Amino acid sequence: MGGHPWIPNADPGILGEMLRAIGVGSVDDLYRDIPGEARFEGWDGLPIGEGGPLSEVEVARRLEALLGRVRVYRDPPPFVGGGVWPRYVPELVRYIVERGEFLTAYTPYQPEASQGLLQALFEYQSLMAELLEMEVVNSSHYDWSTALAEAALMAVRYHRGRRRRLLVPEVMHPRHRRVLEAYTRPHGVEVEEYRVDPETGLAVLGDLESRLGGDVAAVYLEYPYTMTGVVEEQAREIGEAAHGSGALYIVGVDPVAMALLEPPGRLGADIAVGDGQPLGLGLNYGGPYLGVMAVRWDARLVRQMPGRLIGMTVDSEGRRAFAMILQTREQHIRRARATSNITTNEALAAVAAAVYLSLLGPEGLRGVAEYSWYMAHYAARRLSEVEGVESPLLGGSFLWDFTVRLPRPASEVRERLRRRGILAGVPLEGVAPWLGAGDMLLTVTELHEKRHVDMLADALAEALGGG
């Protein structure tokens, strides 16, 4: 027998038998879809080091030089939102998630050996269910976009594949839209937009109703809209229209906004999705984040939920115990027949969110939301005093994200602000047909003080003045 003593199936005879069984001639055939220029052709052509390997000291020196070029925006904090928000992360949250027993924990395939982790996930589910006023919450999605995509596939399965059209607002987050289409296109699902009024930022209810029919699996609403900040005042009516045609109603939410707005459970949502990022996760260079998914109590919906679902029970001696339930959805149980390929439990992010919600409580979370609301409205008023700026652009109400119209291209203004030490704005051109080059989304949260807003207004005036 040849091969490597510690690498399974390295014996040439076994390897050859395996390759013949799957119908390929060599291991290289398994990689034929990878372009040649992307393949590893040997260490000589690998662009590492500086013409050769580096010592640990040299690597550390190179990394320090690279880190020295990183700009950290603390004074003022970033005025950038749109689905990911700059929010304060309490030190207690950081302390808890950095403890070894949480930091190193992974998916509990043997749940009886992971009672502490299962309880942490159960507490997260319970807190999120209370916040959203939905009965069942799972803990298994990477971010908002993957939770939405899985919710859409759930809706199709719920209707046994007879409905394959999804209605979404034309101002939905572009990245969420791309992930949604990537997930659903192979299933023959069509994603169709309903119009949003360019004056108010609210859905055109008549346009939505005209698109409803017996082939619509679900209607999706962002609440508030992530790319304009507008709070949809017709959220309940949109849900009623969806249900009237037999479709499910999916609502995507900013969880902090639930301290001020009616939660999706009260709006009649069948499925709620969102991102736990503002609940103690920080910005983290774009991740990892926490996809939120919740459903109303309907056995058919619960059966279709992907990923982890933790329940509380008692053991044979009557002691409280936690268990992973409905594992038949999982690919390690059902293989190709699983409802989803999502396998992570997002445990560390879920623990952070649970600690954050427990620490602040209802009053604390409302305080964060109210401060952000007041400061954002001060910012919108202050920026309206800058010559040439229309702020806010849309007539609908907003929380901490709001849209402005500038007399110069938003991307150009953002660069001018950056050179003045201020990171601000998301250019909105292309998000909707009526949003142009000068339209920008700005965000103000509890991290910002009045002087920060004044700094932004003064810098914006200078940037628009041509300097």
Is residue 59 in a domain?
Answer: no
Same-domain check for residues 168 and 299 = yes
Q: Which of 35-49, 239-253, 255-269 has the lowest mean pLDDT?
A: 35-49
Do 366 and 447 share a domain, yes or no?
yes
Asked if 29 and 165 sit in the same domain, the reply is: no
Residue 235 within any structural domain of the chain: yes
Confidence band (pLDDT; 50, 70, 90) for 101? confident
Does a structural domain hold residue 67? no
Q: What is the CATH number of the domain that holds 378?
A: 3.90.1150.10
Q: Are residues 317 and 231 in the same domain?
A: yes
- 248 forms beta bridges with 218
Domain boundary among 313, 340, 355: 355
d(CA 285, CA 280) in angstroms, rounded, equals 14
The answer to whether residue 5 is domain-embedded is: no
Specify the number of domains making up the chain: 3
Do 229 and 143 share a structural domain? yes
**What Å distances lie between residue 24 and 15, 27, 36, 40, 41, CA to CA?**
11, 8, 19, 20, 21
On whether both 394 and 262 belong to a single domain, the answer is: no
- My answer on whether 204 and 301 are in the same domain is yes
Closest CA to 441 of 453, 465, 424: 424
The amino acid sitting at 228 is T
Which of 329, 355, 381 lies at the terminal end of a domain, its last residue? 355
**Measured between alpha carbons, how far is 219 from 223 in angstroms, rounded to an integer?**
13
Helix (H, G, I), strand (E, B) or coil at 66: helix
Q: Within this chain, do residues 442 and 349 fall inside the same structural domain, yes or no?
A: no
When pLDDT is cut at 50, 70 and 90, the band that residue 307 belongs to is: confident
Examine the domain organization and report whether 371 and 350 are in the same domain: no
Please tell me the pTM assigned to this model.
0.88
Residue numbers of the domain that contains 155: 91-355
- Is residue 316 located within the same domain as residue 190? yes
* Structural domain contains residue 2: no
The pLDDT value recorded for residue 6 is 78
The verdict on 300 and 349 lying in the same domain is yes
- Report how far Cα 214 is from the mean position of its chain's Cα atoms: 30
**Does any domain span residue 449?**
yes
Whether residue 98 contacts residue 255, with contact meaning beta carbons closer than 8 Å, is answered with no
- How far, in Å, CA of 197 to CA of 80, rounded? 24
CATH number of the domain encompassing residue 345: 3.40.640.10
pLDDT in tens, 1-30: 456 777 777 788 888 899 999 999 888 888
| Same domain, yes or no: 184 and 101 | yes
Is residue 370 included in any domain, yes or no?
yes
d(CA 15, CA 22): 11
